Structure 1
Amino acid sequence: MAISGAASRGAADGGGSAASLPGLEHPLLHAYEARKDPAAAADREALCFGPDAAGGASFVRTCFNGLNALSGVGLLSIPYALSEGGWLSLALLLVVAAACCYTGLLLQRCMDASPAARGYPEIGELAFGRGGRLAASAFLYAELYLVAVGFLILEGDNLDKLFPGASLGLALAGGRRLVVVSGKHLFVVLVALVILPTTWLRSLGVLAYVSASGVLASAVVVVCVLWTAVADGVGFRAQGRMLNVGGLPTALGLYTFCYCGHAIFPTLCNSMREKKKFSQVLAICFAACTLNYGSMAILGYLMYGDDVKSQVTLNLPEGRISSKLAIYTTLINPFSKYALMVTPLAAAVEERLLTAGTKSKRSFSVAIRTLLVGSTVAVALAVPFFGHLMALVGSLLSVMASMLLPCVFYLRIFGVARCGRAEVALIAAILVLGSLVAATGTYSSLKKIVHEF
């Protein structure tokens, strides 16, 4: 398998390549370099992300940010995904993890091809011009936005389980209540208010400290679920099904959602002090997260079988210390990860609207990010179906950002003729897998969401 930097390959390497795809035979680097200014791109990124965009984050900090990007709410839905696909679908989790790790490397190579390709949209423009930039931006920002919405839904569900019947209202002189917010809606709003200040951090180096808490929380949740099974009497009595073909689309969509960090990989890479080590960051992050996801999937499915809910924490027995600790710890993940998802989207808006002469840049940035948080609250209140929403995000948006687009961009930038047979075959296999997941998973998820309404 050829995984070395494709930019350094000569024409002689393409002698044994597979048949070329239409429009992908010739690299486009020369045309792109003529119309982009790398220095200007760096200035814009520094304006939006702060000083760490210039490469100030250490290897360890980037690992924490990467682990936080890949681990999180997907951890809670992974037992449900396994129940949908059956035990044999665990093999698909490994396949998806390997494919997404490889496409992450492809994104890094695309960035190495040009100093101006500093973000996902720029990689799309490098490959297909303005149309590629618009397509990449649409899928990227839609994915990040809906993942942020999912965080709020998750928080609302779990807090409502901890504090059922909670409500908040404004009392009038006559004793009437003008506004009443209760249950999940109340907690969605309160959580958004608490998370809001973390979105104002523009330095990824500083945000790494927040990410570290999220990484620790993911490990603690798995330990708490294990403790519930061993010490609190739940046990491992469920057998489950070996294979459920009808549930494979949902399972694949959720598996893909677990590895939907590609949207912010370029941001993480650009934040590093030593960008050449980003491939090592990817390897560490994917290996650690796959181990954590696999452990949680097996534990949850052995404990509850086909009765496992879309969030395994909703199955845990009430009143137990381990259950409360698991839920409380679960609440940390969105707090630590929400800002990481919103930052690229907010930065894109700021880059569009801010100019070098804009006064009060900091205040403007805070206002933009506050409005984004408010809009995610509105969507979370309107579409409170966590499992189905995450399956839809995974099937449609995450597949595009994590599998399909990196492969297509890579082939377009470097040309099929410069890739070896094994590499082209591997990329083609990922494209086929991604297309199947996108088509079947999107249909299945939309059908379930419509049914809920």
Structure 2
Amino acid sequence: MERDTKGSAAPLLESSPSGTASRLQTLGNIIVSIVGTGWVYWDCLCFRIAGWLAGSLGVAIVGMTTYYCMLLLVSFVQREKLAADGSSLEANTYGDLGYKSFGTFGRYLSEFLILVAQSGGSVAYLVFIGQNFQSIFQTHSLAFTSYIFLLVPVEIGLSWIGSLSALAPFSIFADICNVLAMGIVVKNDIQQAIRGEFSFEQRTAITSNLGGLPFAGGMAVFCFEGFGMTLALENSMQDRAKFPRLLAQTFGGITLAYILFGFFGYMAYGDETRDIVTLNLPRNWSSLAVQVGLCLGLVFTFPIMLHPINEIVEGRLKRIKWFYRPFHGDNNDSTTRLGKVGIYVSRAVVVVVLAIFASCVPAFGVFASFVGSTVCALISFVLPATFHLKLFGSSLHLWQKALDSIVMFCGLFFAVYGTYNTIVGV
């Protein structure tokens, strides 16, 4: 890992210096980075709270805004690498962007928010998998926490895979599981809607409870998780010039899938739509197939969620003298055996800590709501727009400044509302 006088760190992916992931591999990694537990927990509930029209528009707006902010991060990287100001720091990570914008405080704030967001998403994965395994294997007397800790060895082994291109086969498998599960859910929704003989008049287009719209918006933000993976995904791609176009195509497809999924779910069950969409399904082979498929998909997606956490943790460890010297030895371009052991141990510790947290965190729904509405809004909207205005404000057109300002203030609104909602809810 390279170091400079400003304390910057290059990405920890093996593929960072020269991306090796193909277009298909990057596509798989983008999908599993964005599509996680959000659509299972919040998508249909968002439509129930906001109404089918407001929900559709809200998901579309959040999707386009998230894509715009992801594009800002990629443009930061491209412009920094082309800069001729003699700076030795390239904006390869979210923390680098924070440092370039606001110094050490910006780096610490960015990395702290990434840690909280990715840890929250990882905990959500473990909780969902544990709950569903407990539901599937009801005849066994294993507790919910037992299923979580049974996953620990598997997730530790997957976390030791060092590059996104190597994780791509697992990502593609997870994508297939998610698509099949979503297809089965939509099929059941359509059948339920046909049997129920619903009409659009029986479903709310726009809720009369305007206070619920910000909460629904926060749910939609949580559905587009994985923002912290943007730079790692761009760095891992072999042909980085094609990344923005691929990201646009992928985001368009995911946003459309979210809208259709939430629409059909709400049309099928109306006000009876449950918080977790699988709870609305009948107890038969198809619902079990959905649960198994989703659990398998999340098992193989989990190491993708861990990557930003490992990147930050290992970056901090390698700045400590006692860790840095054994890791690099006398040759800064090679990794010693002791250094590799240190990385393996740190990644194993991260998995164990998250498993412990997932098994004992109280009021998980409140915790997930806080992470989605508050931290995700800051990472996805506030920081990218703020960095853009800070670094390139003097060269931006008026409409660009206005757009960044709108995104920033809307993100702040969601963050403040999410914090307020969490405090009041508790």
TM class by smaller structure:
0.7 to 0.9
Structure 2 counterpart of 1:6: none
CA distance, structure 2, for counterparts of residue 278 and residue 165 of structure 1: 47
Aligned counterpart in structure 1 of residue 49 of structure 2, from 77, 80, 84:
84
Contact 1:149–1:377 at 8 Å: present in 2 too? yes
Structure 1 counterpart of 2:67: 101
Aligned counterpart in structure 1 of residue 257 of structure 2, from 286, 292, 305:
292
CA distance, structure 1, for counterparts of residue 399 and residue 195 of structure 2: 46
Structure 1 counterpart of 2:361: 383
Structure 1 counterpart of 2:204: 241
CA distance, structure 1, for counterparts of residue 398 and residue 197 of structure 2: 47
CA distance, structure 1, for counterparts of residue 159 and residue 306 of structure 2: 7
- Listed as ranges, the gaps of 5+ residues in structure 1 are 1-33, 169-181
Contact 2:193–2:268 at 8 Å: present in 1 too? no
Q: How does 1:13-412 map to 2 (within 5 A)?
A: 41-42=9-10, 45=11, 48-51=12-15, 53-77=17-41, 78-87=43-52, 88-115=54-81, 116-164=90-138, 166-168=140-142, 182=143, 184-230=144-190, 235=195, 239-242=202-205, 243=207, 244-318=209-283, 320-354=284-318, 355=324, 356-357=328-329, 359-383=337-361, 385-412=363-390
Deviations 1:231-263 (A, max 9, x none): 579845564433142322321111001112221
TM-score scaled to structure 2, two decimals?
0.87
Query: How many angstroms does 1:35 deviate by?
Result: 5.7
TM-score scaled to structure 1, two decimals?
0.82
Query: How many angstroms does 1:381 deviate by?
Result: 1.5
Query: How many angstroms does 1:352 deviate by?
Result: 2.3
Contact 1:97–1:290 at 8 Å: present in 2 too? yes
Query: How many angstroms does 1:230 deviate by?
Result: 4.5
2:375 alignment partner AA: L
CA distance, structure 1, for counterparts of residue 174 and residue 364 of structure 2: 20
Query: How many angstroms does 1:386 deviate by?
Result: 5.0
Residue 97 of structure 1 aligns to a residue whose secondary structure is: helix
Aligned counterpart in structure 2 of residue 431 of structure 1, from 408, 419, 426:
408
CA distance, structure 1, for counterparts of residue 371 and residue 388 of structure 2: 23
Worse-superposed segment, 429-438 or 50-59: 50-59
Residue 143 of structure 1 aligns to a residue whose secondary structure is: helix
Query: How many angstroms does 1:136 deviate by?
Result: 0.6
Query: How many angstroms does 1:36 deviate by?
Result: 5.3
Query: How many angstroms does 1:165 deviate by?
Result: 5.7
CA distance, structure 1, for counterparts of residue 356 and residue 197 of structure 2: 41
Deviations 1:167-216 (A, max 9, x none): 34xxxxxxxxxxxxx1x222222233332211111111011111111222
Question: Residues 63 and 234 from structure 1, CA distance in 2 versus in 1: closer, same or farther, beyond 3 angstroms?
Answer: same
- Listed as ranges, the gaps of 5+ residues in structure 2 are 82-89, 319-323, 330-335
Worse-superposed segment, 268-277 or 382-391: 382-391
Query: How many angstroms does 1:336 deviate by?
Result: 2.2
Q: Which runs of 4+ in 1 moved over 4 A?
A: 34-37, 230-238, 384-387
2:286 alignment partner AA: S
Residue 68 of structure 1 aligns to a residue whose secondary structure is: helix
2:371 alignment partner AA: V
Worse-superposed segment, 231-240 or 405-414: 231-240
Question: Residues 237 and 447 from structure 1, CA distance in 2 versus in 1: closer, same or farther, beyond 3 angstroms?
Answer: farther
Contact 2:63–2:224 at 8 Å: present in 1 too? yes
Contact 2:95–2:110 at 8 Å: present in 1 too? yes
Query: How many angstroms does 1:383 deviate by?
Result: 2.3
1:368 alignment partner AA: S
Worse-superposed segment, 215-224 or 350-359: 350-359
Question: Residues 227 and 403 from structure 1, CA distance in 2 versus in 1: closer, same or farther, beyond 3 angstroms?
Answer: same
CA distance, structure 2, for counterparts of residue 383 and residue 151 of structure 1: 13
Residues matched between the structures, number: 394
Over the residues paired in the alignment, what is the CA RMSD in angstroms? Answer: 2.2
